[in-house]
Structure 1
Amino acid sequence: MDLHERLLVQVSARDVYDAVALAGHPGSGLVFTGQAGHDAVRMVRRRGYDGPLLADRRRYAGSARVRGTARLSPDWIADQVESGATAPLTDSGYIGKGDHEALHTILEQAAQWEDVIAVLPVHARWVAEDRTSLMRTVTDYGASVALVVEDGPPYRPLPFPLLSAGIECLGALAHGAAWAAVGVREVLRHLYPEPHEARGGWRRGGARSAFVPERLEFVPVERLGEGTCGCSTCHGRPLRRLAEAGELEVNTHNATTLHRLHNRLLRSTHRERWWRELTESALTA
């Protein structure tokens, strides 16, 4: 159940019955999101899944999100250990722009437990203008961390694991992150600033955005253009057909195509160069 170089799929706890179908690839795993995340971990373990499993409480998101100075819950850590999670994640609050107090509070509290991953949900400025301070602080504490980066301008990848991310996951892995988690739907691929308006690829029944590898983008299924897909879900058929497909089929396509890229990354000798060339190619697609 090693997390090393894994590309995990982040889902809601309510996705428990479909989740394993999205994480059946070698090098995969699951992150269940929400207050019932540890219950979903326990259920999947009982059904025999032996891959990596994490639970992200996500107290840092939404209009009622808490600040990073909030007390971490020992019960949340204990519940994850009991459920069979690969490693416990802290139930951290949000770290705003320049909020060094919140950053230090999370890391200091997380240090009281062994083998716990400190979740750091940060304002975009932390990975742009304040990245040196962020990296130095994490190094000083010697902590295992996972970043959640609030929506903002593009930034150079950091060598830290990512939660609730999109294609940035591959960039993080290419730059030395131990693992990363890609969200299965829009709300789990973003940390929206508050207040915000929901965007991109929604229909009744769930998010419906399809990953287009040539563009390195998740595109709402209604806006898919010409072209076919050769993944094991699409079998060379037109991508546009996903506009009429169910949410699970769209998300299976997404997981399959992302893990094909993940495999290419793992085989690459010069991973940072591979990522740079891939992103440059997508800009011209």
Structure 2
Amino acid sequence: MDLHERLLVQVSARDVYDAVALAGHPGSGLVFTGQAAHDAVRMVRRHGYDGPVLADRRRYAGSARVRGTARLSADWIADQVESGVTAPLTDSGYIGKGDEESLHAILEQAARWEGVIAVLPLHARWLTQDRATLTRTVVDYGVPVALVVEDGAPYLPMALPLLAAGVEAPAALAYGAEWAAVGVREVLRHLYPDTHEPRGGWRRGGARSAFVTERLAFVPVERLGPGTCGCSTCHGRPLRHLVAADELVVNTHNAKCLHRLHNRLLRATDRRRWWRELTAAALTA
């Protein structure tokens, strides 16, 4: 159940009944999201799921998100361990632009628990102008971390695990990250700036996006082009058939296409070069 080179699927705790179908292939795993995430972990464990599972409380997102100086919860850690997670994640708050106090607060608290992964939800500037400070601080504390990067700047790959990501997740693996997680829907593939945070969460029947491998992008189903897909969900049909499909079918397509991409990544002899060439080809697609 280790996380080594895993491409995880990040879902809401409400997706517990569909989750195993999305993460049942080799090399995958699950991240449940929300206050009830540990309950979802417990449920899939009781039903025999033996892949890696994490629980992200996501206190760093939404209009009521907390700052990274907030106290981390020992009860949250204990509940995760009891539920059967592969490794417990901290219930971190948000680390704003230049907020070194929050960065230190999360890492210092996380260091008190053995085997805990410190979640670092970061303003995008931390991966651009403040990248050296971030790297140095993480190394100094020596705590396992997982990044969540706020929208606002192009993602620059780092060899650190990612939560709540899109195509940045396989990019992180290509650059040496231990593991990474792709959100099953838009709200779980982004950390939106507070003023743009969607209100009310996800509603069944809402917007759906399909992963198009040639473009390395999630595309709203209404905007899919004429291409076809050979995954075992699409069976060579035009991608546009997903316009009329329900969300589980779209997400199953996404999971299978990402799994194939992940397998190609693991077979690449020079992963960084392979990813750069794939990205260049996607820009011309």
User: Which interval holds the TM-score relative to the shorter structure?
Assistant: over 0.9
Distance in structure 2 (CA, Å) of the matches to 1:210 and 1:196? 23
Shift, 1:207, TM fit: 3.7
Between 82-91 and 206-215, the greater mean CA deviation after superposition: 206-215
Counterpart residue identity of residue 209, structure 2: S
Shift, 1:156, TM fit: 2.0
Shift, 1:130, TM fit: 0.7
Q: How does 1:135-284 map to 2 (within 5 A)?
A: 135-196=135-196, 198=198, 205-284=205-284
Counterpart residue identity of residue 93, structure 2: G
SS of the aligned residue for 1:249 comes to helix
The alignment of Structure 1 onto Structure 2 pairs a total of residues equal to 283
SS of the aligned residue for 1:180 comes to strand
Give deviations 1:114-163, integer Å, cap 9, x for gaps: 00000000000001111111011000000100000000221320010000
Counting aligned pairs with the same residue, the percent is 82
Distance in structure 2 (CA, Å) of the matches to 1:62 and 1:194? 6
Give deviations 1:36-80, integer Å, cap 9, x for gaps: 000000000000000000000000000000000000000000000
Counterpart residue identity of residue 115, structure 1: G
SS of the aligned residue for 2:196 comes to coil
SS of the aligned residue for 2:62 comes to coil
Distance in structure 1 (CA, Å) of the matches to 2:156 and 2:169? 12
1:75 match:
75
Correspondence 1:86 to 2:86: yes
Per the normalisation by structure 1, the TM-score is: 0.97
Distance in structure 2 (CA, Å) of the matches to 1:62 and 1:147? 17
Correspondence 1:35 to 2:44: no
SS of the aligned residue for 2:40 comes to helix
Distance in structure 2 (CA, Å) of the matches to 1:151 and 1:197? 11
Distance in structure 1 (CA, Å) of the matches to 2:194 and 2:91? 19
Shift, 1:29, TM fit: 0.2
CA contact 2:62–2:197 (8 Å) conserved in 1: no
* Distance change in 2, residues 1:150/1:120 (3 Å): same
Distance in structure 1 (CA, Å) of the matches to 2:207 and 2:73? 31
2:103 match:
103
* Distance change in 2, residues 1:114/1:207 (3 Å): farther
Distance in structure 1 (CA, Å) of the matches to 2:137 and 2:117? 15
1:12 match:
12
Shift, 1:197, TM fit: 5.7
Structure 1's unaligned 5+ residue stretches are: none
* Distance change in 2, residues 1:123/1:277 (3 Å): same
Shift, 1:203, TM fit: 7.7
Counterpart residue identity of residue 19, structure 1: A
Distance in structure 2 (CA, Å) of the matches to 1:142 and 1:206? 41
Distance in structure 2 (CA, Å) of the matches to 1:156 and 1:96? 18
Correspondence 1:2 to 2:6: no
Shift, 1:205, TM fit: 2.1
Counterpart residue identity of residue 212, structure 2: V
1:126 match:
126
Structure 2's unaligned 5+ residue stretches are: none
CA contact 2:63–2:197 (8 Å) conserved in 1: no
SS of the aligned residue for 1:214 comes to helix
* Distance change in 2, residues 1:113/1:125 (3 Å): same
* Distance change in 2, residues 1:233/1:70 (3 Å): same
Distance in structure 1 (CA, Å) of the matches to 2:9 and 2:87? 16
Shift, 1:204, TM fit: 5.1
Distance in structure 2 (CA, Å) of the matches to 1:29 and 1:148? 18
Per the normalisation by structure 2, the TM-score is: 0.97
Distance in structure 2 (CA, Å) of the matches to 1:81 and 1:104? 24
Distance in structure 1 (CA, Å) of the matches to 2:192 and 2:278? 26
Shift, 1:106, TM fit: 0.1
CA contact 2:107–2:143 (8 Å) conserved in 1: yes
Distance in structure 1 (CA, Å) of the matches to 2:197 and 2:80? 32
Counterpart residue identity of residue 254, structure 1: N
CA contact 2:41–2:85 (8 Å) conserved in 1: yes
SS of the aligned residue for 2:10 comes to strand
